[in-house]
């Protein structure tokens, strides 16, 4: 029976398919021209930050070692590293995103003053390290030690907040594709960050973007690197599992 063969092949094909996210990247909501600009290193302004980060990575501080003295051949050794963030730090039990890990390395291993969140240096370094995972699927852990953080992020995503009394979920699950004035509501995948955002005319972190969301519903803007946004970042990354890292992205 022909249809049985077709069915069997379909089942095999489905079983063999890699786990893919049910959501789409923010790039899907850009115009074709902006997608082309994002993909073109000579026209995507965020590549300036990546280049700056690459330079910083090799620069030896007056005291202590450069990043590259431990992470030799970063294009190979750090390929894929960013796909696993945020992750729980085994030693401290704390949830760290890529910014947190870079800062930890800088302070504890290189014995240097921290860059600080959202500084040009941190943005450049994060953009560079994340860019080394460009095209690889997001692969964060959401179980085990990460589970409580993931659940906290999920609860944050689902609860109404702010004077406008809206949850992230109401827009970024229920209203995807709808227009908020001239902007199209996306799934809120963070796979392009740090990204060059037209509204900022600048590169910013995912937490800067989340602060803009909070402001939009007139809710408390949590600090860069706050437990609230870290947990939300993990939840968003969990939703985006299987989507490729696009850093440095361009976003509206």
Partner 1 sequence: MGGERPGAAMPVLADRAGAAVVASTFRPPPQTPPRKGEGLPRLMLLGEAVVVGALLLSVCGPGTALALEPYEVVGDAIPRPLGGFTGDPAHGEQLVRDRERGNCLICHQGADPREPFQGTIGPPLAGVGARLDAGQIRLKLVDASRLNPETVMPPYFRTEGLRDVSPQYRGKPALSAQEIEDVVAYLASLKTP
Interface residues with partner 1 (CB under 8 A)? 34, 37, 43, 45, 48-49, 52, 55-56, 59, 61-62, 112-113, 120-121, 124, 159-166, 170-171, 174-175, 178-182, 196, 198-199, 201-202, 214-215, 218-221, 250, 252
Which C-beta is closer to partner 1: that of 36 or that of 147?
36
* Cβ neighbourhood burial of 180 (10 Å; 0-12, 13-18, 19+): exposed
Which C-beta is closer to partner 1: that of 37 or that of 104?
37
Count other C-beta atoms under 10 Å from residue 49's C-beta: 24
Rounded least distance, CB 97 to partner 1, Å: 21
Rounded least distance, CB 150 to partner 1, Å: 20
Residue 67 labeled ligand binder: yes
Which C-beta is closer to partner 1: that of 85 or that of 115?
115
**Would you say 249 and 46 are in contact if contact means Cβ atoms under 8 Å apart?**
yes
Residue 207 labeled ligand binder: no
Report the candidate in 130, 154, 174 with the shortest Cα–Cα distance to residue 236.
154
Residue 168 labeled ligand binder: yes
Q: How many residues does the chain have?
A: 252
β-pairing verdict for 179-180 and 183-184? antiparallel
Rounded least distance, CB 127 to partner 1, Å: 12
Which C-beta is closer to partner 1: that of 136 or that of 169?
169
d(CA 59, CA 53): 10
List residues bridging with 180 in a β-sheet: 183
Report the candidate in 87, 82, 77, 186 with the shortest Cα–Cα distance to residue 127.
82
Which C-beta is closer to partner 1: that of 101 or that of 106?
106
d(CA 199, CA 196): 9
In the set 82, 213, 236, 240, the catalytic residue is 213
β-pairing verdict for 195-197 and 202-204? antiparallel
Residue 70 labeled ligand binder: yes
Rounded least distance, CB 128 to partner 1, Å: 12
| Through-space distance between the first and last CA atoms of the chain, rounded to whole angstroms | 52
> Can 213 be counted among the known catalytic residues?
yes
d(CA 130, CA 248): 8
Rounded least distance, CB 24 to partner 1, Å: 18
Q: Which residues carry a binding-site annotation for substrate?
A: 209
Q: Which residues carry a binding-site annotation?
A: 67, 70-71, 105, 168, 171-172, 209, 213
Q: Which residues carry a binding-site annotation for heme c?
A: 67, 70-71, 105, 168, 171-172, 213
- List, by residue number, the catalytic residues: 213
């Amino acid at each position: 029976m022909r249809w049985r063969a077709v069915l069997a092949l379909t089942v095999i094909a489905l079983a063999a398919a890699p786990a893919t996210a049910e959501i789409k990247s923010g790039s899907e909501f850009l115009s074709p021209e902006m997608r082309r600009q994002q993909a073109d290193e000579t026209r995507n302004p965020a590549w300036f930050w990546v280049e700056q980060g690459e330079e910083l990575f090799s620069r030896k501080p007056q005291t202590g070692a450069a990043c590259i003295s431990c992470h030799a051949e970063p294009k190979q050794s750090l390929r894929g590293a960013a796909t696993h963030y945020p992750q729980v730090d085994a030693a401290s039990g704390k949830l760290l995103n890529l910014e947190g890990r870079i800062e930890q390395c800088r302070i504890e291993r290189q014995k240097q003053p921290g860059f600080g969140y959202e500084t040009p240096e941190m943005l450049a370094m994060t953009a560079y390290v994340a860019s080394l995972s460009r095209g690889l699927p997001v692969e964060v852990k959401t179980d085990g030690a990460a589970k409580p953080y993931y659940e906290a992020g999920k609860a944050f995503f689902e609860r109404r907040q702010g004077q406008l009394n809206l949850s992230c979920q109401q827009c970024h699950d229920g209203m995807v594709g709808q227009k908020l004035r001239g902007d199209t509501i996306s799934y809120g995948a963070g796979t392009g960050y740090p990204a060059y955002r037209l509204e900022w005319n600048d590169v910013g972190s995912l937490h800067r973007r989340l602060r803009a969301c909070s402001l939009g519903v007139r809710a408390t803007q949590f600090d860069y690197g706050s437990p609230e946004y870290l947990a939300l970042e993990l939840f968003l990354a969990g939703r985006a599992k299987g989507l490729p890292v696009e850093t440095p992205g361009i976003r509206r």
